[in-house]
Amino acid sequence: MVTVRFAPSPTGYLHMGSARTALFNWLYARHNGGKFLLRIEDTDKVRSDKKYLDEILKDLKWMGLGWDGDLIYQSQRFDLYKKEAERILSAGKAYREGEAIIFKVESGRTIEIDDMVHGKITFNTDEIKDQVMIKSDGSPAYNFCCVVDDAQLGITHIIRGDDHISNTPKQILFYEAFGLIPPKFGHMPLMMGTDGAKLSKRHGGVSVEEYKKEGFLPEALANYLILLGWSPGEDREVISLEEAVKIFDIADISDVQAKFDVQKLRWLNGEYIIKKKTEELLPFVKEHLLAGGVNVSKLSDEYIIKLINLYKIRVKTLSEFVELTDCFFKDDFIIDEKGKKKYLVKEQNKKNINIFADKLEDLEEFSHENIEKTCRRLAEEKGLKAGDIIHPTRMAISGKMQGAGLFEMMEVLGKSKVLKRMRDAAG
């Protein structure tokens, strides 16, 4: 059975590159009906922190990447690593240096792997120094404990980033020392920024947590990471995890570096927001409203759903939703100063707002259809363009030059609030 693993270190949040590694391992396991295991590399007791582990696990679940079986913690397996190191020591393949146990690397050998992504890669052992298995403080060295764990867990395929290629021959030496056949290796090119530099904050963000807070949907983030190095073909860009599982083949992963483009991710996220049912967006939106200081407990789901329907085609992230809809939750909303000067300073605009407010007073049914009819009738009576009334009114009730349809906004805000804001703005 195909068995893969993802092995995060709880010394920081889940990096986008690590999330992609987890995703491709998960896809490979699910496509082949195999197992996706999670091993926690927490041997660094000083830097490891439970808060990071909790967030990593939460982020994986959020993205839909469930794992099989129990978590494996390397920090709980020190005795096993020491026992296995002493087994190699007893076989004469290692030596002690104080409290440390060090593996003797045979010189003059060529190690060859058939990488699932890059094809044949060769290494010369003359370029590899003797390898520490157990450090002088009793903790295991990375390459050694990885092999002990992977062998015991029955890992058949190791899919990871190119930055691990140099570790591969060292690990193969340990497999040989144990008399085991190594798993298949596949090394994916790393993600870079659009400028070709190493992915960093200036390219938009580095951790899954940052993108969650920004208001990206898990499906969109997973979809975008899938496209970084692999393609479903036929120029498709929108694909669900379920669809990807059916057609994923690691042999199709590109062997060139993938460029992370946050603008493309934003576009893709906007597509997912538009297509997602409003009721499904509701819990995500409420979460972001709460984070933005809105007391959602005082709002009905029906009210928020109306706003989602108004704005879902206008936002690329859910944090934008919070910014664009502040006028629906408070009267001291942010006012665009440029828009204020353009639309709320001229006396004629103030006069038009007041006249429009007078006309709206007479409406018994404050629906967007009736509001629009009133506006266009007034514009015709006064010989104005409808925009001469619409733009100043939008600024008066929302403080913004752009947004959802004005008449729909006015209906949701309600007659009394709309008229008060219009009167206040008109002076």
User: Any idea which residues carry the catalytic annotation?
Assistant: 201
Cβ(211)–Cβ(317) below 8 Å:
no
What length does the chain have? 427
Give 414: exposed, middle or buried? Use CB within 10 Å, 0-12, 13-18, 19+: exposed
**What is the enclosing helix (H) or strand (E) of 96?**
strand 94-97
What's the DSSP call for residue 3? E
DSSP letters, 157-183, are EEEEEGGGGGGHHHHHHHHHHHT----
By C-alpha distance, which of 84, 237, 248, 86 is closest to 175? Answer: 84
Question: C-alpha angle 31/33/34, rounded to 5°?
Answer: 105
Which residue's entry shows tokens 């298949």?
A: 184
On whether the CB atoms of residues 103 and 75 are closer than 8 A, the answer is no
Query: From residue 325, how far is each of 228, 299, 344, 367 by CA, in Å?
Result: 33, 14, 20, 19
The two tokens of residue 173 are 């030496």
Residue at token pair 């990375």: 142
**One-letter amino acid identity for 159?**
I
How far is the C-alpha of 248 from the C-alpha of 228, rounded, in Å?
13
Q: What phi-psi label fits residue 293: left (phi over 0), alpha (psi between -120 and 50 degrees) or beta?
A: left
Q: For residue 397, what are its two tokens? A: 């009730």
Tell me the C-alpha distance between 250 and 186, whole Å: 8
- For the chain, the C-alpha Rg in angstroms (whole number) is 30
The Cα–Cα gap between 417 and 423 comes to: 10
Number of H helices, E strands in the chain: 18, 12
Decide: 159 and 28 in contact? Cβ < 8 Å.
Answer: yes
Dist CA 348 CA 391 (whole Å): 13
